[in-house]
């Protein structure tokens, strides 16, 4: 995995998730395909394979660059700015 300049700036410890699913999907009656958690604030959103792509929308609205998979058994992180698994 590659490093990006956003990783060292992430809060330690990692923020707790705000919910257990995508609240935006719940609000519109949609089902998330997979979940991602923002490593800056703990927001949980659906992935880009989901109809509404709320994790990407969260990045676009906040500038919070790094998300990680919120799926059990997955530990990878993604930087939206650098387009890298970090």
Q: What is the mean pLDDT of residues 60-84?
A: 96
The answer as to whether 49 is a domain residue is yes
Judge if pTM exceeds 0.85. yes
The per-residue pLDDT for 7 is: 93
The per-residue pLDDT for 8 is: 93
The answer as to whether 30 is a domain residue is yes
Reply yes or no on whether the pLDDT at 2 is more than 60.
no
Contact 65, 6 (CB under 8 A): yes
| Domain around 45 | 23-85
The answer as to whether 15 is a domain residue is no
Q: What is the mean pLDDT of the chain?
A: 95
For 32-63, write each residue's pLDDT tens digit: 999 999 999 999 999 999 999 999 999 999 99
Reply yes or no on whether the pLDDT at 1 is more than 70.
no
| Residue 84: exposure state from Cβ atoms within 10 A (0-12, 13-18, ≥19) | middle
The answer as to whether 66 is a domain residue is yes
The domain that contains 71 carries what CATH number?
Answer: 3.30.40.10
Element (H, E) at 18: none
- Three-state DSSP at 41 gives coil
Reply yes or no on whether the pLDDT at 3 is more than 90.
no
């Amino acid at each position: 995995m590659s490093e990006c300049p956003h990783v060292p700036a992430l809060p330690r410890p990692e923020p707790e998730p705000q919910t257990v699913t995508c609240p935006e999907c719940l609000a519109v009656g949609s089902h998330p395909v997979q979940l991602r958690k923002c490593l800056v604030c703990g927001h949980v959103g659906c992935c880009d394979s989901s109809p509404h792509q709320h994790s990407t929308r969260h990045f676009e609205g906040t500038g919070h660059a790094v998300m990680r998979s919120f799926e059990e058994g997955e530990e990878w992180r993604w930087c939206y700015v650098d387009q890298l698994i970090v």
